[in-house]
Structure formats: structure tokens, C-alpha cells
Amino acid sequence: MTTLESIPEKLGSNQSWVEKGGVHWLEPGAMTVRELAQAMNELHARFITITAYQLPKQEGLRLEYHWDLDGQLLGFPFQLAGNSIDSIYDLCEAVDWIEREIHEGFAVDFLGREYEPLLLRQGDQIGVNLREEVKK
């Protein structure tokens, strides 16, 4: 069993875990989401989901990636500079539908993957469900 304390070093991070709201959080720092996904694969962690948030006052979007490691829920927040982030679909098959859903709901582009036809809605406009400016 991998101990939580040993993970930041393996990830090349100098941050430490913060337990809050039922999740062990680790700021990814300079680590990219693809490096994170690779590291989680090596730890045999189970991918759970990505939660997207549109931050207030046009501060952009935050994506929280969650993995399960031996019953412990791990969380890694990524602040998006624009509307895009690298896809990890080629590294983690389980991410397929949630990337598609966030693409449709929040108009986030996951770079490096192709999208199949729409997952959750009819029409041809992305970001229609949960993105504030499109909702209006």
C-alpha cells in the first residue's frame, strides 16, 4: 500500500496534502495534468471524475481531478488559464465521458482528443448547460 506522504515526492512536488471536505488535496504546482495522470497510473489509483467550476467575477474555470487510492479520495485542482487543458484520455480511458460532458456543459476544450457526437444534449452549441454567459 502506498502511503499518502510518499506521493508528493514521487510527483516531484514540494507541497503537502491538505485534508478538507472529505478529500486529500494536493496543489499540482508546476506538474501538468498529463504528468499527474501518468503518476496516478503508476500508483494504480482509480480515476473517479473531474468536477468543473466556473469561478465568480470572470476568474475563469477550475477543474478538480479525483482519484481513489486504497479508499482515500485524492483531489488535484487545476486553474485554467483559458478555456482549454490537455486531455488525458489516451492515458486514462475512464476519463472519456466526463471530458465530453465538461466540454459540452462548460465549453472546455480538452486538447489532443477527438470528440464523438454529443453526450448529453441536443443542438450544436457547447457550454449550453452550466456556463454562465451561455446560459443567459
Partner 1 sequence: MSYKIPMGPFHPALEEPYKLDLICEGETVSDAKLHIGFNFRGIEHLAETRNYIQVIALMERVCGICSNIHTLTLCQAMEGLTNLTPPPRARYIRVVVAELERLHSHVLWAGIAAKLMGFKTMFMTCFELREKVMDVLQAISGNRVNYSMNRIGGVNRDIEDPLAVLKMVEALEAEMARTVIPIFTTSTTARSRCAGIGVLTHEKAISCGVVGPVARSSGVPQDLRHDAPYAAYDEMEFNTPVEPDGDVRARLMVRALEIMESCRILRQALTKMPPGELHTGDAKFNFVTGTSTSRVEAPRGEVMYSVSWREGSRNPARVHVRTPTFVNMPAIRWMVLGARLADTPLIQASIDPCYSCTDR
Summarize as ranges the residues that interact with partner 1 (CB under 8 A).
20-23, 46-49, 51-53, 64, 66, 68, 70-73, 75, 92-94, 96-98, 105, 116-122, 129-130, 135
Distances (CA, A) of 83 to 72, 78, 103, 121, 126: 30, 12, 10, 20, 12
Nearer to partner 1, 21 or 30 (CB): 21
Nearer to partner 1, 9 or 21 (CB): 21
CB of 107: closest distance to partner 1 in angstroms?
Answer: 14
Pairing relationship of beta strands 61-69 and 72-80 according to DSSP bridges: antiparallel
Q: Are 43 and 28 in contact (CB under 8 A)?
A: no
Beta bridge partner(s), residue 23: 20
Per this entry, what is the length of the chain?
136
CB of 109: closest distance to partner 1 in angstroms?
Answer: 20
CB of 100: closest distance to partner 1 in angstroms?
Answer: 10
CB of 45: closest distance to partner 1 in angstroms?
Answer: 10
Sign of CA dihedral 5, 11, 12, 16: negative
Nearer to partner 1, 8 or 25 (CB): 25
Nearer to partner 1, 9 or 124 (CB): 124
Closest-CA residue to 74 (of 39, 99, 108, 106): 39
